[in-house]
Amino acid sequence: MRRGAVVQLVLFGLVAAAFATAVALGFHWLPDPASKQADRIFFLYWLATAISILVFSVVTAVLVYSIIHFRAAPDDHGDGPPIHGNTRLEIVWTLVPTLLVIVIGVASAIVLSRNSDAGTNPLIVNVTAEQFAWQFAYPHQGNVTAAELRLPLNRTVKLVMKSRDVIHSFWVPEFAQKQDVVPGITTTLVITPDRLGTFPVICTELCGLGHALMRSEAIVMQPAAFDAWAKKSSSAVAGGGPAAGKAVFQAQGCGACHTFKAAGATGKVGPDLDNIYKDAQLAGLSVPDFIRQSIVDPNAYVPPGFPKNVMPGNFGSLPKDQLDALINYLVPTSTKTVSP
Ligand code: CUA
């Protein structure tokens, strides 16, 4: 091959590589990673991108060179001479892609295996998914439950996930992993958060009418702040009374959908809880019975103007003391004084 041809091929290849690299690096394609698992996954992404840029620039260089030098003359209507049987070329174009795919495959297998390793002492979080809410329970922190996922920084966490109805999927973009939550089986996900912050928890499986509302937050905290939160939440609930009811109301995120003045909640998705006395009358139940039914079996009676199947039924699985505290908290003060 002539020296000039090699120089031209290299030049075209460099231009193509520079263009592709600018597209890859010039945009903020990925969220900023916030876990060790995300770091590994994004490393794989960039490895595959680098290999793709290499292949793209070789192909582009040969294509552009051929278009310039082997173009048919305007009056040439014949086919070129048939070419077949170049063993050396065939070995090269088989071997190179095989090696590249093996590199990507082996690297992916290593990342997959390391990302599912929870180590010897992970923090266990029981995740329950239900149309259309997430619930997070901490069995080793006094069974504290919350509507948002709180995680201590740099501690490996194992999510143990169950669905109470249909298939949901757990996704935090900054953690880079997705895991389906499937009725009848328990799935797990290992996360080691390495950046403080609040990140969205998103359901990524179309699961019904409220799918788009099935969102929560993952809050990565300093370990000391996490411990303080867990201790405060479990003792607030254990203390009983209105403080316990308010703690459950806030932990379960009721205010995201309901208005309730006593808690400073202004949600508009579900019925206004300050009108609960009226709704109980319409349902023909005493106020406490109506509140209990609405939490445990929300579709039994839905106030006019609100669709069924939006209020999650998973709150019925709250520990009994938490459920009682919540119901007590929601009973309007005026009716409390009327009925003994
Ligand atoms: Cu749950 Cu979409």
Taking only the tens place, the pLDDT of each residue in 93-139 is 899 999 999 999 999 999 999 999 998 899 999 999 988 889 999 98
Q: How far is the CA of 158 from the centre of ligand 1 (A)?
A: 21
Distance CA(67)–CA(12), nearest Å, equals 12
Beta bridge partners of 35: 193
Question: Which atom of ligand 1 is nearest to 212's Cα?
Answer: 2
End-to-end CA distance of the chain: 100
- Give the residues across from 244 on adjacent strands: none
Q: Which residues have C-beta atoms less than 6 Å from ligand 1?
A: 132, 168, 203, 205-207, 211, 214
pLDDT at 1: 64
- What pLDDT is stored for residue 52 in this prediction? 95
- Positions in the chain whose pLDDT score sits under 50: 337-340
Angle at 119 between CA 319 and CA 155, to 5 degrees: 65
Q: Report pLDDT for 340.
A: 39
204 CA distance to ligand 1 centroid (A)? 6
- pTM for this one? 0.71
Q: What is the pLDDT of residue 158?
A: 96
Please give the pLDDT value at position 323.
85
CA-nearest residue, atom 1 of ligand 1: 168
Q: What is the pLDDT of residue 268?
A: 81
Which atom of ligand 1 is closest in space to residue 166's alpha carbon? Answer: 1
Atom of ligand 1 nearest to the CA of 167: 1
Per DSSP, the three-state class of 332 is: coil
Instruction: Quote the DSSP letter at residue 187.
Output: E
Tokens of 16: 């193509």
Q: What is the pLDDT of residue 176?
A: 95
The residue to which tokens 């459920």 are assigned: 323
Beta-carbon contacts of 312 under 8 Å, excluding residues fewer than 6 positions away, are 130, 131, 132, 133, 298
Q: What pLDDT was estimated at residue 250?
A: 79
